[in-house]
């Protein structure tokens, strides 16, 4: 089988490029250097590509992925903020993955080829578009603009994007089909449905007569002309004698569903041996038959056969609706090492789109993602946490493209490949549609397929720096002890490549456990007079509670601030005083220093747990104050005990501490 | 040279080939040709009698029950439309200024691609928007070009956003004339004003000196500037006074009125909200002052035009005060209000008032259609058109646009315009002048909804008017329960069901019971909620999880914005939410109940 290939219009200058055709197919090796486009996958070539991909993934040592979404944050304050505890950060990731759509999914399997001493990669760029019923997603205008800036093809995505069903949706769909069969099995309730209208009565009579004729013709030979003209002149209705499951049948065409109900009624009343069957054929056109059965047992058989057939059709339908999830199932079932760059959001998207609703807490999420993808490595963590790699990055940013330029210059600038220094680098070939090329640069940054390719290259090079000898180690990269410290760790924060700043700059878990208590010292204030700035708010509170009572004040957005108090007692004291001032109308309220903050009477305040509650809501108002009002958090402090409990739960869990370690380790 | 493309078609009575779809030349407008199209549009609208509009949104309703149905009062209909208008984005805005002379309808159709671009990086015009996947797929099927829309769509700001952005764009702005003298001043204020006054006086004197004495050498004048803190604004001298509060701004502006002959104050906004400084600019003469104000005004206009984008078009229509014809009044105008005027008010009366101040003449085509041809459905334009064939109302359509390539998008607006022309011709067989036309619009059809409207018109032959208080919502039923089954079960459960009543599913999760006698609904509701009265099969049902609620709960669900996917979920949440939160607009209103409810069960 030969696939259409596109050869470059503009051969690259370098002469040292060599392209090897794969053994399976004899392709004339072009003498000039070749660059070919990224492999784009849409609905039309999905099935064939999937078959090839299966083999590539099976053979792969690791698979790099990357996603493009329609947005990242559903409101400005949903971005990760300085005062976000890790559980709040998870809630923000969860919100993002639930609201936005994935429009492109890059999958790039890498396999070590010991013959050529190089990796062979197979970048795939899947266009994905959700086509489930009633599916809605959010678009962030800046993200859409960003995609447009990189010439993202929205038309291809919406016209040709591959749809998908999550595992949960698949279950629901088969349940729905199940229910539908049961409905169809049911005989028309005769009590329920009576022939009242004259038209129905006449129609029923006509049908009865017609069926009688057909049946007696069938039984007594007669003049069995298989065609019959429309029942009434000029109508599109027609009946035709056909065979349905080896039995003589009358195919009914052009009847309304109401008329079909009348027909079913007539059959039930007058014809014991004629059975009504509603079938969906492969092209999902529905067809209706009246089938003759010669005995009760035959009738039962027929009904069973029809039911099985409908089930098969339904299963096929669901199977095809699963669509892109087959790729995810493939990655999951092969238990391959998944490589991503700053990939917490990608993984969360994969979970919510292809598994089911995201769990409510980070611990549950981590545990459950482990069941599906036992080995995940994040190149961003690798580059930041490993001192040697960090050094190699020469302190440049660890964004994907800059990591790629500093670690893989041999791929980014192939013309310099004569450089002896560069030749020590890991060689990475690209194979698209059985054409292999050792220096490929399709360019397209922010095409998911190319980004996945870059991620994989960065990972391979990083492994080589860590002392991997791929000749021996490629088999089981995931279990290699050199990677042990980095595997299955993800950053919870995704902003701009910056690592979570825990403010105090603690560098290990011990310290963090101390710092976590700072969240008990935080009060959230919103809807204060807009003209007040952080500094003025601090002044007001200091006037009321002492000049050292407030450590810092930090804006969430224009409408809300976090106030970090010296201790947690001040938190409840503040909330108590606020409540008192609000219920009191005396002169104290006017001269009290806090009155400046409470001016307008709409100011809300609550402790940190309320912030978490606000973040967990599926509502997203642009302004935080609107959000707080809509979620309806009542200003209050929580009982001490309850708060303790929630803190304990955090530290008990191994997975959670793994996570915590992961982002603490970042502060090298 | 302007070559006109004329396509005309006679669509008179008896002529069944009314409109050939895709046949009209509609001008496609994007970022690149917006400026030129705007000038053209201005001329078209000046010469038109009415403007037809048609919007293409990224969604309409997220769940079956979010769609406006027969059980909705004007208020709940409005809330549903508001919810949709706030979430979805307009991708395509087709407009058709049209003029009708005798039987000749001249059209200038335009199709604008819109995309909200955060050009000021302020989260405006919108931070994000929702898309209904099925809507986008349907648009794709019709050949909609998403790349054109997203790459080249025209952005905009609403009126409210524009005034907010003015302050944030960082350009100096002229303060509004001070209306009221400020509150009594404190000692601190007096000291502050005194200090600033003397500073301004010195500076002003030096300005006067330097303008009269041209003999100063450069060194002296620059030294003078340094000493007095004088700077230049363009070619004019100015003084920047830093301020710490809006109070100080007020005081300085008041004080500067003393020097209003030759000093003009400007406000410098800080990056975050508020004023950072007041800049006093020295004018050499009265003429200079006028010139300066004009320059500033032009600068502001230029800036505004850039920021306003497509809203310029909306403003043109608004200021022309021409009748605006839409196929779907509520959904179109809530969208227009939300995107181009300002946030939607929380009740329908405020909305109607606010809308009519911008668009005094709004025609709801479906309302008009119902009066003339009650049985036809305006959502299918070609069908609606052919249903009018029994009237003799010849309308000759002529589209006057320059011919340009692919013109297929925005055809609907041509049909809307045509349909409206035809309807007006039928209604007033001799519509000649546009005076008549406007009279027709403003009389009975414009702004057809208000919350006081208790006499909703009966628009289907077998619909009956029923007070909203006679409806009871019932949910928590078995998934396989059909309306007929439910009716049967209910009939056996309580005496109130001995009388005639109706059952209809509103979505998968919830049904509505319609009683024809007032009081029956209360009897039933109290029966379910009263432990002692609850007996027999009804008790059994409640024990199995059936819940009921009156119309008030539904109204509150809409008002509180519990737009859950299932109506049952929304009603449950409403009942849970504090009972103290009572609704104010609890007056009963009538709805038009039709046994052939317009709920499309295929979509459930």
How close B566 comes to chain A (CA, Å)?
12
Q: In terms of CA atoms, which chain B residue is nearest residue A100?
A: B130
A145 contacts B132? CB cut-off 8 A: no
A622 contacts B133? CB cut-off 8 A: no
Residues of A in contact with B130 (CB under 8 A): 136-139
Average pLDDT, stretch A246-265? Answer: 81
What would the pLDDT profile of B247-272 be if each residue is shown by its tens digit?
788 888 888 888 877 788 887 776 55
Q: In this complex, which of B62, B150, B479 lies closest to A154 when CB atoms are compared?
A: B150
Rounded CA gap, A358 and B549, in Å? Answer: 33
CB atoms within 10 A of CB A111: 20
pLDDT at B102 (0 to 100) = 80
Segment 125-164 of chain A within 8 Å of chain B by CB: 129-142, 144-145, 147-148, 153-155, 157-159
Q: In terms of CA atoms, which chain A residue is nearest residue B119?
A: A142
Q: What angle do CA A439, A443, A447 make, to 5 degrees?
A: 125
Q: Domain coordinates of chain A in residue numbers?
A: 39-164+324-496, 177-309, 506-637
Residues of B in contact with A136 (CB under 8 A): 59, 62, 130-133
A182 contacts B123? CB cut-off 8 A: no
Q: In this complex, which of B128, B136, B147 lies closest to A140 when CB atoms are compared?
A: B128
pLDDT at B206 (0 to 100) = 77
Say yes or no: A549 contacts chain B, CB-CB below 8 A: no
pLDDT at B592 (0 to 100) = 55
Average pLDDT, stretch A51-60? Answer: 92
Q: Is the pLDDT of residue B6 over 70?
A: no
Q: In this complex, which of B131, B151, B272 lies closest to A137 when CB atoms are compared?
A: B131
CATH 3.30.70.330 at A506-637, yes or no: yes
Residues of A in contact with B126 (CB under 8 A): 141
Element (H, E) at A551: strand A550-557
A132 contacts B118? CB cut-off 8 A: no
B147 contacts A154? CB cut-off 8 A: yes
Residues of A in contact with B134 (CB under 8 A): 131, 133-135
Residues of A in contact with B577 (CB under 8 A): 632
Say yes or no: A461 contacts chain B, CB-CB below 8 A: no
Q: In this complex, which of B128, B137, B484 lies closest to A71 when CB atoms are compared?
A: B128
Q: In this complex, which of B118, B128, B137 lies closest to A139 when CB atoms are compared?
A: B128
Say yes or no: A357 contacts chain B, CB-CB below 8 A: no
Q: Is the pLDDT of residue A353 over 50?
A: yes
B137 contacts A154? CB cut-off 8 A: no
Rounded CA gap, A434 and A24, in Å? Answer: 8
Q: In terms of CA atoms, which chain B residue is nearest residue A129?
A: B133
What would the pLDDT profile of A579-595 be if each residue is shown by its tens digit?
888 777 666 666 777 77
Q: In this complex, which of A141, A148, A558 lies closest to B127 when CB atoms are compared?
A: A141
B62 contacts A145? CB cut-off 8 A: no
Best probe of the A interface among B59, B133, B250, by most A CBs < 10 A, is B133
Q: Is the pLDDT of residue A350 over 90?
A: yes
A630 contacts B130? CB cut-off 8 A: no
Rounded CA gap, A536 and A533, in Å? Answer: 5
Local confidence band at A20 (pLDDT 50, 70, 90 cut-offs)? very low
Rounded CA gap, A452 and A124, in Å? Answer: 9
Q: Is the pLDDT of residue A189 over 90?
A: no
Cβ-contact A513, A504 below 8 angstroms: no
How close B21 comes to chain A (CA, Å)?
22
pLDDT at A25 (0 to 100) = 39
Best probe of the B interface among A71, A134, A536, by most B CBs < 10 A, is A134
Residue bearing the bigger pLDDT, A224 or A215: A215
Q: Is the pLDDT of residue A225 over 60?
A: no
A530 contacts B273? CB cut-off 8 A: yes
Local confidence band at B408 (pLDDT 50, 70, 90 cut-offs)? low
Q: Do domains B5-157+309-445 and B463-603 have the same CATH topology?
A: no
Q: Is the pLDDT of residue A77 over 50?
A: yes
Residue bearing the bigger pLDDT, B514 or A421: B514
Rounded CA gap, B494 and A268, in Å? Answer: 33
pLDDT at B227 (0 to 100) = 63
Nearest to B76 by CA among B493, B494, B455, B468: B468
Cβ-contact A144, A70 below 8 angstroms: yes
How close A541 comes to chain B (CA, Å)?
20
A154 contacts B62? CB cut-off 8 A: no
Q: In this complex, which of B128, B146, B150 lies closest to A138 when CB atoms are compared?
A: B128
Element (H, E) at A106: strand A102-113
Question: What mean pLDDT, rounded, does chain A reach?
Answer: 75
Local confidence band at B212 (pLDDT 50, 70, 90 cut-offs)? low
Task: Select the CATH number that applies to the domain covering A39-164+324-496 from these four: 3.40.630.20, 3.30.1280.10, 3.40.50.1220, 3.30.420.10.
Answer: 3.30.420.10
Average pLDDT, stretch B112-131? Answer: 84
Residues of A in contact with B274 (CB under 8 A): 531
- Any residues with CB less than 8 A from the CB of B242 and at least 6 apart, and which? B276, B277
- Any residues with CB less than 8 A from the CB of A51 and at least 6 apart, and which? none
B137 contacts A136? CB cut-off 8 A: no
| Window from A513-522, A634-643, B201-210, B348-357 with minimum mean pLDDT | A634-643
pLDDT at B464 (0 to 100) = 63
Local confidence band at A661 (pLDDT 50, 70, 90 cut-offs)? very low
Rounded CA gap, A597 and A600, in Å? Answer: 9
Average pLDDT, stretch A97-102? Answer: 93
Nearest to A338 by CA among A481, A489, A447: A489
Local confidence band at A634 (pLDDT 50, 70, 90 cut-offs)? low
Local confidence band at B240 (pLDDT 50, 70, 90 cut-offs)? confident
Average pLDDT, stretch B96-100? Answer: 89
Question: How many alpha carbons fall within 13 Å on the CB side of residue B485?
Answer: 8
| Window from A623-637, B215-229, B475-489 with minimum mean pLDDT | B215-229
Say yes or no: A182 contacts chain B, CB-CB below 8 A: yes
How close A164 comes to chain B (CA, Å)?
12
Say yes or no: A75 contacts chain B, CB-CB below 8 A: yes
Q: In terms of CA atoms, which chain A residue is nearest residue B244?
A: A531
A135 contacts B132? CB cut-off 8 A: yes
Q: Is the pLDDT of residue A499 over 60?
A: no
Q: Over pLDDT 90: what percentage of chain A?
A: 14
- Which residues make beta-bridge pairs with A253? A238
Q: In this complex, which of B115, B133, B149 lies closest to A131 when CB atoms are compared?
A: B133
Three-state secondary structure call for residue B80: helix
Q: Domain coordinates of chain B in residue numbers?
A: 5-157+309-445, 187-296, 463-603
Residue bearing the bigger pLDDT, B495 or B48: B48
Tokens at residue B111, please? 């199709």
pLDDT at A106 (0 to 100) = 93
Nearest to A265 by CA among A215, A325, A195, A335: A195
Residue bearing the bigger pLDDT, B258 or A105: A105
pLDDT at A103 (0 to 100) = 93
Q: Is the pLDDT of residue A507 over 60?
A: no
Average pLDDT, stretch A259-288? Answer: 77
Residues of A in contact with B479 (CB under 8 A): 179
Looking at domain B463-603, its CATH architecture is: 2-Layer Sandwich (3.30)
pLDDT at B115 (0 to 100) = 92
CATH 2.60.120.10 at B5-157+309-445, yes or no: no
DSSP strands (E only) in A346-489: 376-378, 428-432, 435-437
Local confidence band at A521 (pLDDT 50, 70, 90 cut-offs)? confident
How close B490 comes to chain A (CA, Å)?
15
Q: What are phi and psi of B107, to 5 degrees?
A: -120, 145
Residue bearing the bigger pLDDT, A633 or A302: A302
- For B159-186, give one letter per residue: b (16+ CB within 10 A) or e: bebbebbbebbeebbebeeeeeeeeeee
Q: In this complex, which of B127, B136, B140 lies closest to A75 when CB atoms are compared?
A: B127
How close B516 comes to chain A (CA, Å)?
22
Under an 8 Å CB criterion, which residues of B touch A?
A: 58-59, 62-63, 89, 115-118, 123, 126-134, 136-137, 139-140, 145-147, 149-151, 245-246, 272-274, 479-480, 484-485, 561, 565, 577
Local confidence band at B577 (pLDDT 50, 70, 90 cut-offs)? confident
Average pLDDT, stretch A239-254? Answer: 80
**ipTM of this complex prediction, to 2 decimal places:** 0.75
How close B582 comes to chain A (CA, Å)?
15
**Based on C-alpha coordinates, what's the Rg of chain B?**
31
Rounded to the nearest angstrom, the gap between the alpha carbon of residue A120 and the centroid of all alpha carbons in its chain is 27
pLDDT at B399 (0 to 100) = 77
Q: Is the pLDDT of residue B14 over 60?
A: no
A192 contacts B150? CB cut-off 8 A: no
Q: In terms of CA atoms, which chain A residue is nearest residue B63?
A: A134
pLDDT at A101 (0 to 100) = 93
What would the pLDDT profile of A112-153 be if each residue is shown by its tens digit?
888 888 889 999 999 999 987 778 999 999 999 999 988 899
| Window from A201-210, A606-615, B195-204, B213-222 with minimum mean pLDDT | B213-222
pLDDT at A109 (0 to 100) = 94
User: Which of A263-277, A486-500, B82-96 ranks highest by mean pLDDT?
Assistant: B82-96
| Window from A33-37, A461-465, B385-389 with minimum mean pLDDT | A33-37
């Amino acid at each position: 089988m030969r696939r259409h290939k596109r050869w470059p219009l503009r051969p690259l200058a370098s002469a040292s490029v060599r392209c090897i055709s794969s053994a399976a197919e004899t392709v004339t090796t072009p003498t000039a250097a070749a660059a070919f486009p990224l492999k784009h996958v849409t609905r039309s070539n999905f099935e064939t590509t999937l078959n090839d991909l299966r083999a590539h993934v099976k053979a792969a040592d690791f698979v790099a992925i990357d996603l493009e979404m329609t947005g990242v944050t559903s409101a400005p304050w949903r971005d990760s903020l300085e005062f976000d505890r890790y559980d709040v950060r998870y809630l923000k990731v969860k919100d993002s993955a639930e609201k936005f759509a994935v429009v492109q999914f890059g999958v790039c399997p890498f396999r070590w080829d010991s013959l050529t001493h190089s990796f062979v990669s197979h970048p795939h760029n899947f266009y994905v578009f959700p086509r489930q019923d009633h599916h809605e997603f959010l678009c962030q205008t800046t993200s859409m603009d960003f995609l447009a800036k990189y010439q993202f093809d929205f038309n291809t995505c919406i016209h040709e994007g591959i749809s998908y069903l999550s595992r949960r949706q698949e279950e629901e769909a088969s349940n729905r089909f199940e229910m539908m069969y049961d409905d169809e099995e049911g005989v028309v309730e005769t009590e329920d449905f009576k022939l009242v209208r004259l038209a129905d009565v006449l129609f029923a009579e006509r049908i009865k007569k017609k069926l009688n004729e057909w049946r007696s013709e069938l039984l007594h030979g007669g003049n069995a002309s298989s065609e019959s003209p429309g029942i009434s002149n000029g109508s599109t209705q027609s009946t035709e004698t056909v065979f349905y499951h080896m039995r003589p049948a009358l195919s009914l065409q052009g009847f309304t569903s109401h008329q079909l109900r009348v027909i079913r009624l007539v059959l039930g009343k007058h014809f014991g041996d004629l059975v009504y069957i509603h079938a969906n054929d492969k092209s999902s056109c529905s067809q209706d038959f009246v089938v003759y059965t010669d005995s009760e047992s035959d009738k039962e058989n027929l009904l069973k056969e029809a039911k099985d057939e409908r089930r098969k059709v339904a299963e096929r339908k669901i199977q095809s609706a699963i669509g892109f999830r087959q790729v995810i199932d493939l990655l999951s079932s092969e238990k391959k090492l998944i490589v991503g760059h700053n990939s917490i959001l990608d993984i969360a998207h994969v979970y919510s789109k292809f598994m089911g609703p995201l769990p409510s807490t980070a611990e549950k999420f981590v545990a459950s993602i482990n069941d599906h993808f036992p080995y995940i490595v994040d190149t961003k963590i690798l580059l930041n946490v490993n001192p040697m790699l960090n050094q190699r990055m020469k302190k440049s940013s660890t964004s994907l493209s800059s990591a790629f330029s500093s670690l893989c210059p041999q791929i980014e600038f192939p013309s310099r490949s004569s450089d002896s220094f560069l030749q020590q680098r890991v060689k990475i070939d690209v194979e698209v549609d059985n054409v292999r090329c050792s220096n490929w640069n399709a360019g397209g940054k922010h095409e998911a397929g190319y980004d996945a390719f870059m991620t994989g290259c960065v990972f391979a090079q990083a492994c080589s720096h860590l002392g991997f000898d791929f000749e021996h180690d490629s088999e089981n990269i995931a279990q290699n002890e050199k990677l042990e410290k980095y595997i299955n760790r993800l950053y919870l924060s995704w902003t701009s490549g910056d690592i979570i700043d825990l403010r105090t700059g603690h560098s290990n878990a011990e310290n963090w456990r101390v710092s976590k208590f700072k969240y008990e010292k935080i009060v959230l204030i919103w809807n204060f007079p807009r003209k007040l700035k952080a500094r003025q708010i601090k002044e007001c509170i200091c006037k009321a509670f002492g000049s050292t009572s407030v450590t810092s004040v930090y804006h969430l957005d224009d409408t809300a601030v976090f106030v970090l108090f010296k201790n947690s007692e001040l938190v409840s004291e503040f909330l108590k005083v606020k409540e008192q001032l609000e219920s009191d109308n005396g002169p104290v309220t006017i001269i009290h220093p806090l009155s400046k903050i409470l001016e307008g009477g709409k100011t809300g305040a609550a402790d940190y747990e309320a912030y978490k509650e606000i973040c967990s809501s599926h509502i997203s108002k642009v302004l935080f104050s609107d959000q707080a009002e809509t979620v309806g958090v009542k200003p209050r402090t929580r009982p001490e005990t309850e708060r303790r409990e929630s803190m304990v739960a955090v530290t008990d869990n191994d997975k959670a501490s793994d996570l915590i370690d992961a982002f603490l380790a970042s502060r090298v | 040279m302007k070559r006109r493309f004329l396509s005309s078609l006679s669509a008179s009575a008896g002529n069944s080939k009314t409109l050939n779809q895709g046949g009209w030349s509609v001008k496609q407008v994007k970022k690149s040709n917006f400026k030129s199209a705007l000038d053209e549009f201005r001329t078209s609208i000046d010469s038109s009698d009415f403007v037809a509009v048609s919007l293409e949104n990224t969604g309409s309703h997220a769940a079956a029950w979010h769609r406006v149905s027969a059980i909705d009062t004007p208020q709940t209909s409005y809330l549903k439309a508001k919810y949709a208008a706030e979430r979805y984005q307009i991708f395509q805005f087709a407009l058709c200024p049209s003029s009708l002379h005798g039987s000749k309808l001249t059209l200038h159709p335009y199709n604008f691609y819109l995309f909200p671009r955060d050009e000021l990086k302020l989260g405006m015009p919108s931070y994000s928007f929702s898309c209904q996947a099925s809507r986008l797929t349907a648009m794709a099927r019709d050949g909609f070009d998403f790349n054109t829309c997203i790459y080249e769509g025209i952005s905009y700001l609403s009126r409210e956003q524009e005034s907010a952005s003015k302050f944030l764009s960082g350009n100096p702005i002229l303060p509004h004339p001070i209306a009221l003298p400020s509150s009594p001043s404190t000692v601190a204020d007096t000291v502050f004003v005194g200090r600033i006054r003397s500073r301004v006086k010195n500076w002003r004197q030096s300005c006067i000196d330097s303008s009269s004495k041209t003999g100063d050498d450069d060194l002296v004048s620059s030294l003078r500037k340094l000493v007095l803190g004088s700077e230049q604004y363009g070619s004019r001298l100015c003084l920047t006074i830093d301020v710490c509060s809006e109070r100080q701004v007020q005081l300085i502006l008041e004080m500067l009125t003393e020097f209003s002959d030759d000093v003009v104050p400007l406000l410098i906004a800080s990056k975050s909200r508020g004023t950072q400084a007041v800049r006093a600019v020295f004018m050499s003469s009265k003429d200079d002052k006028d010139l300066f104000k004009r320059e500033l005004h032009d600068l502001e206009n230029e800036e505004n035009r850039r920021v306003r984008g497509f809203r310029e078009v909306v403003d043109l229509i608004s200021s022309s005060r021409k009748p605006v014809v839409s196929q779907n009044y509520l959904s179109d105008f809530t969208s227009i209000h939300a995107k181009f005027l300002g946030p939607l008010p929380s009740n329908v009366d405020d909305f109607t008032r606010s809308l009519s101040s911008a668009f005094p003449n709004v025609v709801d085509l479906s309302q008009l259609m119902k009066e003339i041809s009650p049985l036809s459905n305006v959502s299918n334009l070609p069908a609606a058109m052919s249903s009018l064939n029994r009237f003799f109302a010849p309308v000759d359509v002529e589209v006057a646009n320059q011919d340009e390539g692919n013109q297929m998008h925005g055809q609907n607006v041509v049909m809307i315009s045509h349909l409206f022309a035809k309807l007006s011709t039928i209604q007033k067989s001799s519509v000649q002048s546009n005076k008549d036309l406007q009279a027709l619009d403003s009389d009975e059809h414009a702004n057809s909804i208000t919350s006081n409207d208790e006499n909703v018109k009966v628009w289907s032959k077998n619909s009956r008017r029923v007070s909203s208080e006679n409806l009871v919502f019932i949910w928590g039923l078995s998934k396989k329960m059909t309306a007929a089954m439910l009716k049967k079960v209910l009939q056996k459960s309580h005496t109130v069901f001995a009388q005639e009543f109706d059952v209809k599913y509103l979505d998968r999760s919830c049904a509505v019971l319609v009683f024809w006698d007032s009081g029956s609904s209360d009897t039933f509701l109290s029966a379910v909620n009263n432990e002692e009265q609850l007996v027999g099969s009804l008790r059994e049902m409640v024990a199995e999880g059936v819940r009921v609620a009156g119309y008030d709960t539904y109204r509150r669900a809409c008002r509180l914005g519990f737009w859950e996917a299932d109506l049952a979920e929304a009603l449950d949440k409403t009942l849970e939410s504090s009972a103290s939160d009572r609704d104010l607009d609890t007056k009963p209103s009538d709805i038009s109940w039709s046994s052939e409810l317009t709920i499309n069960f295929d979509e459930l």
